[in-house]
Each structure stands twice: as structure tokens, then as C-alpha cells.
Structure 1
Amino acid sequence: MKRNIPEKENKNEMTYIQQHLANERTYLAWIRTAIAIMGVGFLVTNLHFTMREAISGIEDFIARMIGLFSVILGIVTIVFSTVNYYQKRDQINQAIFKSPKITVFILSALMTIVMIIFFAYFLSI
């Protein structure tokens, strides 16, 4: 099924094909990162509850928070990367560029929170 693409949009897409392909690679890298973040959260939570015989309340809470925050951070990363992908796509077609300062800051801050929780967890063991 052939999609009807306006001539102007098609011309811009072809003019900046390398930039569009780079944008797609960046998007896929963000998706892989989100999956890895969620995977680490599941791993820590699963290891905590299967490897420990004597579990304290605070350790359980921290392990659950690691899992929860990792999943939330992974979902937020997917949402932000998808929005960023479409913004970049439009910016490439309009021949303008704006760096994603807010997205990078928010994701970095959230990842720092997860790392602090990891650190607290490993200190409590």
C-alpha cells in the first residue's frame, strides 16, 4: 500500500536522508537504554527476593523501589525519546536544530535517583 506523501515533505525527507537515518539510530539507542534500565531493575529485585533468606523490611522496600523506579524510568525514557524523535524529524525537515536540553536533564536526574537508590540498597546489605 503506497502512502500519499506531499511532494514538499518527500523532497525534504530525501534531501536530509542521512540526518533522518541518524535520528532513527539515536531513537533506537534510547529504546535499548530504556530496556536495559528496566532489566537492571528487574534483576536487582529478582535477585533480592530469591537469594536472601533473612530479609529486613527496609531492604524489601528499597528493592521494590529499585524495581519500580527502574520501570518508571524506562517508560519515561521511551516516551521522551519518542517525542524527541518526532521533534527532530520535523526540525530536520525545516533545516533547524535545537538540542534536547530539558529531556537530557530530566532523564539524567531520574537516572541519578535510581543510582542513589541502588547505592542505598547495597549499603543496607
Structure 2
Amino acid sequence: MANKGTKTPDSAFIQQHLANERTFLAWLRTALALKGIGFLAASLHFTTPLKTYFSTTMAMTLSIVSFVSGTAIITLAALLFIRNKRTINTGQFRSSTVLIMAAAALIILVMLLLLVYFLTSAGV
């Protein structure tokens, strides 16, 4: 641990490291929201009296995809945080286009599954 007043390698880029931490926490909130959607769909489904085979399958699929998506986003966010921490100090920072596109695709998939589930459960 550094003494008080001693500069660390991260000291030159304090703002960037703090922004990296905030970004990581935002990814965690996104992942937790995705997992919450899965649990919500399952709990709503299994507390309603009218269940069909298709709606049960959709509820389970939505729950599994939401949980896996949330776990994947947490894993990728942690890897991205570590990579960004290293590259900020060396001046070799690269933006995270792949993670952004992957997260967007996973969220779109979960939202489409949620839409299909609600439309089939409502009898539309």
C-alpha cells in the first residue's frame, strides 16, 4: 500500500479510472436487471392459473436466456474493466464495440422473448 502523498501508477489518470469503475457498475446494473426480468417472468407465470405448454416453455426459455445473458454481461464487464484498467495507464485504450454490440443483442433477444411470452400468455 502506498504511503500518504505517494503517487501510484494510477494517479496520473484518476478521472479515467473512476469513469472505468462507474462503467463497470453500470454493466452490473444492466446484468442484474436482465436477471430480474427472468425471475419476474417465471414468478408471474407460475402464479397465474391459466398455463399452456407453450407459455410454460416460453417462461422457462425467457428465464434461462435472461439468467445466461446477465451472467455473460457480468463476465464480459469484469474482463473489460481489467483490460481498461491496464490500457488506461499505458495510453493504449480501445473502445468496447464488441461488448456493446453483444450486450445490445442479448437485451434485444430478452425483450423479444418477453414480448412473445406476454402476447401468448394474454391470448392475443
In the superposition, the TM-score normalised over structure 2's length comes to 0.89
**1:21-36 matched pairs, under 5 angstroms:** 21-36=18-33
**Residue 80 (structure 2) aligns with:** 84
Deviations 1:10-51 (A, max 9, x none): 33x00001100110011011111111110111011101111x
Deviations 1:57-114 (A, max 9, x none): 0000000111111110110010010001011111101112211111111111111111
Number of aligned residue pairs: 118
In the alignment, structure 1 residue 116 sits paired with structure 2 residue 112: yes
In the superposition, the TM-score normalised over structure 1's length comes to 0.88
Superposition CA RMSD, Å: 1.7
CA distance in structure 1 between the aligned counterparts of 2:102 and 2:29, rounded to whole angstroms: 18
Q: Which amino acid letter does the alignment assign opposite residue 19 of structure 2?
A: A
Instruction: In structure 2, list runs of 5 or more residues that go unmatched.
Output: none
Give the secondary-structure state (helix, strand or coil) at the position aligned to 2:95.
coil
**Residue 15 (structure 2) aligns with:** 18
Residue 66 of structure 1, aligned match among 62, 66, 86: 62
Percent identity of equivalent pairs:
35
Structure 1 runs (4+) greater than 3 angstroms displaced: none
Give the secondary-structure state (helix, strand or coil) at the position aligned to 2:45.
helix
CA distance in structure 2 between the aligned counterparts of 1:96 and 1:29, rounded to whole angstroms: 23
